[in-house]
């Protein structure tokens, strides 16, 4: 059983949280949702999913987790303004363990300064931001660069989840 951390704030893309969360739980992995305020209930931008934030980023140790999954929607843009969330992302990435981001999720990786020289994919509107931050952007279902797994959109969720589950211990 692996332990997975998922950063989440209001207006996340419902399916990009709910589907990986469900697949991870179905595979008997432990998932911790974290954000800016423990106990806060955050809601997806489509109103189809909500979840309670279980921990604040500042209270977590990256060494306690086996992977990080960053859903898209507006959540990454909100979370990139929180220094503790960005610091956790940066420290987790340094462990070399799997980091999976979908859609707008790479915005958090940009904020943490982690994309330079990496090959990623994302929602098309994040492409220029990634390129400006030094990444190589590709338009494909899943891009894997070392421990980094990225996908473009909800339609890519089956391939995204498959790649994520294969990367877990």
Residue boundaries of the structural domains of the chain: 3-167
3 bridge partner residues: 30
Q: What was the pLDDT predicted at 123?
A: 97
User: What phi and psi, each to the nearest 5 degrees, are found at residue 44?
Assistant: -70, 160
73 bridge partner residues: 12
User: With pLDDT > 90 as the criterion, what percentage of the chain qualifies?
Assistant: 99
User: What phi and psi, each to the nearest 5 degrees, are found at residue 68?
Assistant: -130, 130
Q: pLDDT, tens digit, for every residue of 114-148?
A: 999 999 999 999 999 999 999 999 999 999 999 99
> Structure tokens of 117?
């020289």
Rg (CA), the chain: 14
Q: How many residues comprise the chain?
A: 169
Catalytic residue among 19, 89, 103, 143: 103
For residue 103, indicate whether it is catalytic. Answer: yes
- Full-prediction pTM beyond 0.95? yes
Residue 141, helix vs strand vs coil: coil
Q: pLDDT, tens digit, for every residue of 31-70?
A: 999 999 999 999 999 999 999 999 999 999 999 999 999 9
3-167 — its CATH code? 3.40.50.880
Residue 9, helix vs strand vs coil: coil
Q: What was the pLDDT predicted at 119?
A: 98
Rounded mean pLDDT, 83-106:
98
Going by C-beta distance under 8 Å and a sequence separation of 6 or more, which residues neighbour residue 92? 5, 62, 65, 68, 99
Q: What was the pLDDT predicted at 37?
A: 92
DSSP, res 36: S
Closest C-alpha to 169, from 24, 62, 70: 24
Q: What was the pLDDT predicted at 130?
A: 98
Rounded mean pLDDT, 12-27:
98
For all residues of the chain together, what is the average pLDDT?
97
């Amino acid at each position: 059983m692996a332990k997975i951390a998922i950063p989440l704030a209001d207006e996340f893309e419902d399916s990009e949280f709910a589907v990986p969360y469900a697949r991870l739980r179905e595979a008997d992995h432990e998932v911790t949702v974290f954000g800016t305020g423990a106990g806060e209930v955050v809601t997806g931008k489509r109103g189809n999913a909500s979840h309670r934030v279980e921990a604040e980023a500042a209270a977590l140790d990256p060494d306690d987790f086996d992977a990080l999954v960053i859903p898209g929607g507006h959540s990454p843009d909100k979370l990139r303004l929180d220094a503790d969330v960005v610091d956790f992302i940066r420290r987790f990435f340094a462990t070399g363990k799997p980091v999976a981001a979908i859609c707008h999720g790479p915005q958090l990786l940009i904020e943490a300064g982690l994309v330079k020289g990496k090959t990623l994919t994302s929602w098309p509107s994040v492409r220029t931001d990634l390129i400006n931050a030094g990444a190589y952007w590709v338009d494909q279902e899943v891009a894997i660069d070392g421990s980094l797994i990225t996908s473009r959109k909800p339609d890519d969720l089956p391939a995204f989840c498959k790649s994520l589950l294969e990367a877990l211990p």
